Structures are given as C-alpha cells and as structure tokens.
C-alpha cells in the first residue's frame, strides 16, 4: 500500500526529568516502516524517581539510596494488586521500565488543565493499571494493558491520548481528519467512553461516537464538520471507511479497547481493513481483560515493540472485591430463586440480572412488571433508542435484566449485585459479568445459578473462585456427576463427587 502524505507528525512528550521526542518520518513515495528518532535532552527516567536529591552525596550513599528506591518501586507494584511490567521488544537491548506514578501530580504536573479535571472529579490516587500505564504511554511506547473490568483502563489511555494529540506539530485545522481513534466492541461501551471524553475535556477536543443502529446520516455530518476523537464500533466505522466518508490517515493514536471481546464478536476482518488506512507510525494501545491466543496474535501483528502492563495475573480471574455465591438448582426452580432474591434486597441494593437469551430477558422482565416491580431489559433486538433509555432508567431503578450485551461497557458504579440467572456460554463471560459489580474500589456480590446442563463448566469455574479466595482449596476439578454447595466461613464451597 502506497501513501503520499506530506506532513511529518511528531509526538513531543515533555517531563521534568526527561525530554523524549519521537519524530515520525516517512518519504513521499511510501512508508519505509516505523522510524524512530529519540533525542534525549537529559538522561534519566521519565518521571522523577526520587533520586534527584542524591546529587553531591558520596557514591556509597548514592548506591544505597538507589537500591532503596528500587525496593520502593517493587513494593509499590506488589502492594497495588501485583502490577507486572514486561518489555516485549523482540530484538536488541531491552528498554528500562518506567517507574509507576504514585499520584496524579507525578504524571500530569506539567498539564494543569488535566489536573484541574482530576481535582474536579475528586479522584484521590491512580488505580494500579493507571499508575503504570501512564508512564509507558507518555514516553511514546505502544502498550498492552491487561486488567480486570472496572479498574480504570479507559482513563489509562484517554489522558495520554489528549497529551499525544496536543504534542503534534501539525495544527489541528491542517490534519484533515481525527487524531485519535478508539475501537470498541459495543455501542454501550462506545457511548460510555464518549461520556468520559466529555467529562475530561481537554483543549476543546471534539469527540464523536460512531456505531451501528445510530443515525448514520447524522454521524456522517458530524464527521464532515470536523472531529478530533472518533470512538467507534468496527462494523459502522468500516462502513464509512469503505464509502470514503471518513479519513483515517490522520490517526496517530489508536486504541483497541476490549480487544478480546471484539475478537469474540467476529470483528477481526473489519479491524484489519480499518488498520490498513491508518498510518503505521502511530502509537497503539490495546486493552483487554483476558489474554487469549487471538488477542496475542492481534498484538503481535499490529503493535510495534509494545510494553505489557498487567495487574494481578494473566490467568483468568474475577475481581477480588466481589463475594461470589454458586447455587446448584433445577431449571424449573430458577424463577423462584430470582424472585426470592429480589424480595430480600435492601433499599440501597441494585441488581443486574444476566440471562442467556433475548426472549428470556423479555419474559423475565415482563413477569417482574406484572408483580409491580420497576424493571428494564437490555438486549440486541431492542432499538438503539430503547437501549439507551434502558441504561438511563437503570440509574434510577434497581433492576435491569440483560443479555451479555451488558457484560462490557456498562459502567454503573452503584450496582451492588450481579445475578446470573443463566450460566454464561463461556468462563470469560462469567468473569466479565461478575466485573459489573465491585467497581471503583467498592465491594459487590454475585449469585450464579448452576443447573445440570452447566456442570461441564465446573472445572473452569473452580479456579476462578479459588483465585478470588472464594472457595475451599480441597475441591477438585474433575468432570462431575454430582455437586453440592455449602457455606464455609462466609465463603462458598462447591464440592464435587465423581
């Protein structure tokens, strides 16, 4: 593919201890690949590592202080949900790992407008994924961020993206298109990200949400009117791209958000077509809650020598702030269980009930309405306006019945319970469902009904419960003929007999 762009884009990221200028170059006949020119004005880590005041001390004291600093960084990562960082550069010498930022000021001291937004929202300190992702992204590197749902991944890539665009030498009105693209699997998640963009508005950047089921003509008009940030689902964006209604050649900051979910939904062909039109000298961020083979393949193909940051473990795990309960029931008993649960809810409780089929979502919500309960339903067969209305209503009412459409991108912080009426089709979806509660440092609870048809999932479910400290160590994971549950010290024991 040949390109004839005449502009040279640069990412200029300035910080207190180190000035890194990543100059993106290419010739007029076509790209020769990604060419990096790093001009280090001053040696040292990107962020103040706490060693600047060591100057003038004797060498022994300096070595001791540096040794102490290494341990401070190590224990900070260990205590913050086990933050791990890895340099995935395949050739040449490995790069130094940027130190995590322990406060917002360490990351954005030179960006007062961002600090004002953070102070206005009232955040106290960065989440674990943010504390390590920001130093990597602000140094201009590609990043793979693996963390459980509800851990602040959206803000981890948005704020560096704002700074990235602001550092481009080409004026906004001369770029000919948007500078940032966020690809995401569902409309609900796209709308949620757009809300975050508007909440942390920076330099007057304009964002637009492009998704199927929305007003296509209206979306096209907004694009033609000029935007800086595009948040899109792959299907609708590919539609506009193939009809030459949007220019993607100006994109220099690309985010593949919830990459595992996009692959699960079969969006890989559209993603590949979209990336063909985006300059190869971009900065790319990939986020995911899991690390399956498909996501690894995508990362290897489309990221350039990325660094990987993951919180906790790369093994599938549910958030440890959620108390998980597993109940073995018969299929015909499930409705009585869910209605008993609702009757016992406290006034401040809010529950998200997951079902396996759209028809069941309508059926269960209708039964609840007949009993005088305020409830909404959410699934893919509802019109987009109805889906948006359901999400809006859920901020006021206490019950939402939904398919796995709501397992990603539903960022309602006051959900206290998740009720799995139907067991999900795979264990990854179980993790994402449970992650709808216990978000932003809060605690939550998940209740899962398991029938005989779901017993085959028990060997995969048990490790999830064990990693979250929710289940006895004496359990086995063999194929089951019979199972039972019991409460042990407030936790759930799922016993298996073969």
State the chain's maximal CA–CA distance in angstroms. 79
Confidence band for 164, pLDDT divided at 50, 70 and 90: very high
d(CA 492, CA 498): 20
pLDDT in tens, 353-369: 999 999 999 999 999 99
- Calculate mean pLDDT across residues 21-35: 33
**Residue 479: predicted pLDDT:** 31
pLDDT in tens, 206-234: 999 999 888 899 999 999 999 999 999 99
Cα angle 414, 419, 424; round to 5: 120
**Residue 291: predicted pLDDT:** 82
Which of 398 and 292 is assigned the larger pLDDT? 398
What average pLDDT does the structure give for the chain?
78
Cα angle 295, 430, 291; round to 5: 20
Cα angle 104, 105, 107; round to 5: 70
**Residue 76: predicted pLDDT:** 53
Nearest to 234 by CA among 283, 200, 282, 190: 190
d(CA 327, CA 446): 11
**CATH T-level assignment (fold) for domain 82-311:** Rossmann fold (3.40.50)
- The CATH number given to 322-497 is 3.40.50.300
Which of 116 and 311 is assigned the larger pLDDT? 116
Backbone angles phi, psi at 339, to 5 degrees: -70, -35
**Residue 371: predicted pLDDT:** 92
Confidence band for 458, pLDDT divided at 50, 70 and 90: confident
Query: Is residue 402 pLDDT above 90, yes or no?
Result: yes
Confidence band for 91, pLDDT divided at 50, 70 and 90: confident
Which ranges constitute the DSSP H helices of 24-103?
A: 59-79
Are 305 and 331 in contact by the 8 Å Cβ rule? The answer is no
d(CA 68, CA 448): 46
Matching fold, domains 82-311 and 322-497: yes
Report the percentage of the chain scoring pLDDT > 70: 74
d(CA 197, CA 159): 9
pLDDT in tens, 31-64: 333 332 332 222 233 333 333 323 333 444 444 4
Domain residues of the chain, as ranges? 82-311, 322-497
- Calculate mean pLDDT across residues 18-41: 32
Which of 183 and 46 is assigned the larger pLDDT? 183
**Residue 441: predicted pLDDT:** 66
363: its two tokens: 């059926």
Which of 6 and 283 is assigned the larger pLDDT? 283
Look up residue 38 and give its DSSP letter: B
- Calculate mean pLDDT across residues 227-246: 95
Query: Is residue 416 pLDDT above 90, yes or no?
Result: yes
| Selection from 38-52, 332-346, 371-385, 402-416 with the highest mean pLDDT | 332-346
**Residue 205: predicted pLDDT:** 93
């Amino acid at each position: 593919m040949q390109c004839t762009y005449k502009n040279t884009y640069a990412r200029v990221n300035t910080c207190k201890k180190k000035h890194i200028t990543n100059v993106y170059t290419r010739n007029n006949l076509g790209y020769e690949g990604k060419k990096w020119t790093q001009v280090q004005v001053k040696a040292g880590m990107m962020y103040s590592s706490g060693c600047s005041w060591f100057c003038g001390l004797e060498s022994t004291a300096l070595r001791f202080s540096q040794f102490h600093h290494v341990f401070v960084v190590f224990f900070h990562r260990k205590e913050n949900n086990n933050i791990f960082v890895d340099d995935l550069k395949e050739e040449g010498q490995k790069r130094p790992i940027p130190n995590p930022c322990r406060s917002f000021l360490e990351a954005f001291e030179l960006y007062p407008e961002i600090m004002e937004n953070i102070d206005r929202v009232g955040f106290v300190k960065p989440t674990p994924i943010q504390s390590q992702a920001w130093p990597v992204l602000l140094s201009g590197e590609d990043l793979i961020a693996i963390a459980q749902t509800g851990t602040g991944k959206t803000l981890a890539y948005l704020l560096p993206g704002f700074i990235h665009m602001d550092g481009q030498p080409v004026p906004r009105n001369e770029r000919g298109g948007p500078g940032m693209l966020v690809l995401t699997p569902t409309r609900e998640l796209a709308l949620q990200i757009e809300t975050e963009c508007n909440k942390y508005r920076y330099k007057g950047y304009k964002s637009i949400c492009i998704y199927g089921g929305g007003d296509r003509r209206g979306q096209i008009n907004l694009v033609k009117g000029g935007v800086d940030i595009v948040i899109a689902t792959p299907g609708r964006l590919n539609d506009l791209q193939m009809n030459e209604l949007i220019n993607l050649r100006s994109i220099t900051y690309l985010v593949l958000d919830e990459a595992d979910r996009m692959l699960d939904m079969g969006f890989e062909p559209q993603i590949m077509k979209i990336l063909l039109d985006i300059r190869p000298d971009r900065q790319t961020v990939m986020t995911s809650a899991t690390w399956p083979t498909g996501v690894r393949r995508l990362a290897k193909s489309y990221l350039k020598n990325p660094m990987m940051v993951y919180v906790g473990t790369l093994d599938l795990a549910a958030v440890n702030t959620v108390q998980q309960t597993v109940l073995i029931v018969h299929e015909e008993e499930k409705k009585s269980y869910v209605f008993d649960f609702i009757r016992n809810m406290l006034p401040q409780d809010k529950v998200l009930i997951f079902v396996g089929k759209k028809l069941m979502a309508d059926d269960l919500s209708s039964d609840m309405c007949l009993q005088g309960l305020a409830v909404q339903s959410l699934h893919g067969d509802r019109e987009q306006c109805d889906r948006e209305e359901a999400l809006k209503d859920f901020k006021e009412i206490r019950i939402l019945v939904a398919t796995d459409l709501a397992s990603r991108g539903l960022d309602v912080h006051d959900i206290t319970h998740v009720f799995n009426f139907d067991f999900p089709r795979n264990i990854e979806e179980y993790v994402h469902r449970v992650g709808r509660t216990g978000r932003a440092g809060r605690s939550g609870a998940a209740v899962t009904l398991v029938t005989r048809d779901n017993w085959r999932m028990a060997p995969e479910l048990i490790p999830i419960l064990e990693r979250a400290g929710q289940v006895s160590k004496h359990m086995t994971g063999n194929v089951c003929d019979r199972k039972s549950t019991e409460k042990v010290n407030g936790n759930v024991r799922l016993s298996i007999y073969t």
